[in-house]
Amino acid sequence: MTKRLRQLSSKDVFLALAALPVLVLLAIAPETFALFWPDDIPALGGLFFVLFLLGFDLLGFPKGKLEWTRRRKILAAVTVVVGFFYFAAAAPGQSLTSVIYSVGRTAGARGDVGHPNSESFLTATYFAAFAVYLAVLAVVLFNKNTIRRMITPLAYSMGAMIFYLVDAFLSFDERTDSFSLPFLQPLAKSIAPAVVFLAKLFGLRIYDLYGGLTPLILGPRPLVLLMIIGKYMTCELCLYWPSLVGTLMFSLIMIIVAARLQVQWERKLLYAALGIVSAVIVEVIRTFSIAYYAYAYAMTCNEVNEFEKTIGLFLLPFFVLVFVVFVASIIRIEGWLASRQKPRHR
């Protein structure tokens, strides 16, 4: 076994050890691996996306094998063991989970099971712990400068942590029964016109209750935006800004990828804008899929809520596909532009 490990490249070793905490959580609580937003359980599917981004960044690492010095073996073993036991103990239903809930409640987050946003603080701790684990593992296996070369997965992890903390502490105002941070609500409300346009295109009876510019003016209320007159029932589909966390995170990744390109800043801005547009299109598709299910198949509004949770399981491969297409398109475009540049003659 030791001989086989020595034959693995440094990239393979790093990625294999990095995946360990995610595999531990998957084995203990597979039901928690929804994609983006927690309801009554954490949504940890984003951890797989972190691993995908890590693999993407590892493509730029130099080839070669790790030199397993005694010091590196000890530090790597300690890091992996600590990471293994932490994520095993912090899995939903395990001993450390109640401690995390208690810390969240003490700090002012919603930490009671069954309460709106109850799992956001717990989910934030997973992404924070995973980012720390990746950073420490990178320093142990390589050096501290390696952290700069894997900024994409770290930025995604920390961004997810921030969004979930915002949801845990600020997103829902019990006094007004509405979502706070009203300046973010227009982001969700701006999705409705695109969904209604698709509905008209397919002849579906899905209507924006507050059309035009009204949704951008009303702030966090009213929250009900879409009226769906389906085949079997009538349902109101609410859009809240926290539901766009996937779009915001995906946009962040696109911006980071564009910023790291060795191209002129004008093209960086263009690629970043195209990445954000791609993220918005994915969100429109997600919302329209939910609305279409409510129109064509749902018998009750509860079925729509269950479908909204389920569709997150299928979005991760779709997001990965869009990301790969986006990066491949940039590489192709930049290659085409480079081929058109004529060599200068003195």
pLDDT at site 128:
94
317-340 mean pLDDT: 82
Domain ranges (residues) in the chain: 1-174, 176-346
Prediction pTM value = 0.75
Task: Tell me the sheet residues that pair with 224.
Answer: 238
Q: Any residues with CB less than 8 A from the CB of 267 and at least 6 apart, and which?
A: 261
If one counts every other C-beta atom within 10 angstroms of the C-beta of residue 162, the result is: 16
Contact 142, 123 (CB under 8 A): no
- % of the chain surpassing 70 pLDDT: 79
**89-124, pLDDT tens digit by residue?**
988 778 888 888 888 888 777 655 445 455 788 888
Confidence of residue 176 (pLDDT cuts 50, 70, 90): very low
Cα 274 to Cα 297: distance, rounded to the nearest angstrom: 34
Cα 279 to Cα 254: distance, rounded to the nearest angstrom: 9
Confidence of residue 3 (pLDDT cuts 50, 70, 90): low
Q: Any residues with CB less than 8 A from the CB of 233 and at least 6 apart, and which?
A: 298, 299, 300, 301
- Long-range contacts formed by 306-311: CB under 8 A, 24+ apart: 309/34, 309/39, 311/286
Confidence of residue 219 (pLDDT cuts 50, 70, 90): very low
- % of the chain surpassing 90 pLDDT: 17
pLDDT at site 4:
57
Half-sphere exposure of 189 (CA within 13 A, CB side): 23
Lowest mean pLDDT across 38-42, 50-54, 80-84, 218-222: 218-222
Task: Tell me the sheet residues that pair with 129.
Answer: none
What is the sign, positive or negative, of the torsion defined by CA atoms of 246, 252, 257, 258? positive
Cα 346 to Cα 341: distance, rounded to the nearest angstrom: 16
Confidence of residue 259 (pLDDT cuts 50, 70, 90): confident
| pLDDT beyond 90 at 240 | no
| pLDDT beyond 50 at 216 | no
